[in-house]
Structure 1
Amino acid sequence: MDNLGVVFVSELVGTALLVLLGCGVVANVALAKTKGFNGGFLLVNIGWGFAVFSGVIVSYNSGAHLNPAVTLGLVASGAEEFGSGVPVNITSVLVYILAQLVGAMIGAAFCWLAYKQHFDDEPDPANKLGVFSTGPAIRSYGWNLVTEVIGTFVLVFVVIGFGRAGDGGGLAALGALPVAILVIAIGASLGGPTGYAINPARDLGPRIAHALLPIKGKGSSDWSYSWIPVVGPIIGGLLAGWASIPLLPLVG
């Protein structure tokens, strides 16, 4: 139970920092009157990559999953314990995922506080929502789902394939900087259609925060789309975990 407490705090803090910085770069690019206004999608990719870097660094004690798709991918790969030394079971999986979701909500709330005046001055509700959660460039639920599955598969497959060669600890085992580069690459290569959630907690937690926070003129939280960045990454993570099983004798 003590180890689970450490895992919960570690994942919560790491995911909160990830979302604070990740949503923060979107706010800097999208909201009116910021210094980074119209900085472009590549700046968003870079910002999210180093947001992951920061989250991994501070959550090493839990293996730095920061993402339910990574947690579930490790389970699907047949892992018997997480990098934190906690056995893989239903309780530990739920602790990881709950911490990630709560941390994402906290990080999103702090992002809103940091950009409060810019949220107030932004006239477009879609730009406000875009800071918190992803949305498709072309809305087609089936194809949007495919994009999220593919992007998350790449993330989790690389994390497992190389991370397990280290200490078996998820993102932390692969190393913070390589993971940051991987996330930038996924965003630059596969992020255009959906904004690349590739993380159910990263999208759902901030979307809940968007719905709850008293954001001036915020509009809809787009719940009709919200299942795509949850279901797609879960499918992609599970597929990556299963696909990595033949590699484990080579990397373990």
Structure 2
Amino acid sequence: MDTSVWLQMLGEFIGTLVLVLMGDGVVAANSLRKSKSEGAGWVTIALGWGAAVTLGVYASSFLSLAHLNPAVSIAMAVAGEFSWSLVLPYSVAQIAGGIVGAALVWLNYYPHWEETKDPATILGVFSTAPAIRNTVWNVFSEVLGTAVLVFSLLVFTRGDFTDGLNPIVVGLLIVSIGLSLGGSTGYAINPARDLGPRIAHQLLPIKNKGDSDWGYSWVPVVGPIIGGVIAALLYLLIPITQL
């Protein structure tokens, strides 16, 4: 790979690291025993994830396209807005960033894992789990949430935003999806955001952890990819005219 691709991978790695560090960080702050913000609630988590995405985009956009999400990279390629040759490098960098970001969350809250006795709560800091486990509807929720995300991102490319404003709008989009659609599965809407931290959960010596729920792990990977592709195909059906 040439230098340009490596730099773009670095951008995706940094951006996804920041996204997961701040996003999983707000979940840890909300969930772990004896955290100062324990029990702050879902609104705090949704706002935190929106800010995390905004900061991740700002942190990476000087090096890459700041997808920070394999489902977005795939969908952009389907829509003809991104090179297929970069999908795999971007996705690898994004997942790696998710692993490292989650590891940093573990270190930041190191004393709190021993205080937190529930393995499901600990896993929930790292990866998503459904409120009601029903495979069909869990997949549907991830498909729908990601379709809203990707379709909006594609439409945003046709908008005329003031320089530097786009990441804030994307962050608001994440907040809206979380508040409106996220209560069913925890709205992964991003394979790297779920798979990377789940790998970290599997590998790290976390106190009181249980299994990493690999039986569910395909849902927040496959669902977002399907949703992203559907959104890209719908976008391609829209007649685009130059005003």
Normalised TM-score (structure 1) = 0.92
For 2:126, the equivalent position in structure 1 comes to: 132
Tell me the SS of whatever aligns to 2:177. Answer: helix
For 1:85, the equivalent position in structure 2 comes to: none
Tell me the SS of whatever aligns to 1:217. Answer: coil
For 1:24, the equivalent position in structure 2 comes to: 25
Distance 1:191 1:39 in 2: 17
Distance 1:120 1:5 in 2: 39
Matched, 1:163 2:165: no
Tell me the SS of whatever aligns to 1:5. Answer: helix
**What does the per-residue CA deviation read over 1:153-174, in whole Å, with 9 as the maximum and x for residues that have no partner?**
000000011124469xxxx997
Letter in 2 for 1:203: D
Distance apart, 1:119 and its partner CA: 1.1
Tell me the SS of whatever aligns to 1:16. Answer: helix
For 2:174, the equivalent position in structure 1 comes to: 183
**What does the per-residue CA deviation read over 1:173-217, in whole Å, with 9 as the maximum and x for residues that have no partner?**
971100000000000000000000000000000000000000011
Structure 1 residues 250, 137: CA separation in 2 closer, same or farther (over 3 Å shift)?
Answer: farther
**What does the per-residue CA deviation read over 1:29-48, in whole Å, with 9 as the maximum and x for residues that have no partner?**
00000011000001000000
Conserved 8 A contact 1:11-1:100? yes
For 1:107, the equivalent position in structure 2 comes to: 101
For 2:84, the equivalent position in structure 1 comes to: 89
Distance 1:174 1:162 in 2: 11
Matched, 1:62 2:64: yes
Runs of 4+ residues over 3 Å off in structure 1: 164-167
Distance apart, 1:120 and its partner CA: 1.6
Distance 2:57 2:93 in 1: 14
Letter in 2 for 1:15: T
**What does the per-residue CA deviation read over 1:28-79, in whole Å, with 9 as the maximum and x for residues that have no partner?**
0000000110000010000000000100001113111000111011011122
Distance 1:207 1:102 in 2: 11
For 1:48, the equivalent position in structure 2 comes to: 49
- Residue among 147, 155, 163 paired with 1:153: 147
Tell me the SS of whatever aligns to 1:62. Answer: coil
**What does the per-residue CA deviation read over 1:103-141, in whole Å, with 9 as the maximum and x for residues that have no partner?**
000000000000011112101111100000000000001
Structure 1 residues 183, 117: CA separation in 2 closer, same or farther (over 3 Å shift)?
Answer: same
Distance apart, 1:235 and its partner CA: 0.2
Letter in 2 for 1:177: I
Aligned residues: 240
Structure 1 residues 250, 31: CA separation in 2 closer, same or farther (over 3 Å shift)?
Answer: farther
Structure 1 residues 155, 161: CA separation in 2 closer, same or farther (over 3 Å shift)?
Answer: same
Distance 1:228 1:248 in 2: 32
Conserved 8 A contact 1:29-1:36? yes
Structure 1 residues 221, 248: CA separation in 2 closer, same or farther (over 3 Å shift)?
Answer: farther
Matched, 1:244 2:235: yes
Distance 2:170 2:6 in 1: 25
Normalised TM-score (structure 2) = 0.95
For 2:185, the equivalent position in structure 1 comes to: 194
Give the alignment of 1:202-217 within 5 angstroms.
202-217=193-208
Distance 1:78 1:186 in 2: 25
Structure 1 residues 28, 250: CA separation in 2 closer, same or farther (over 3 Å shift)?
Answer: farther
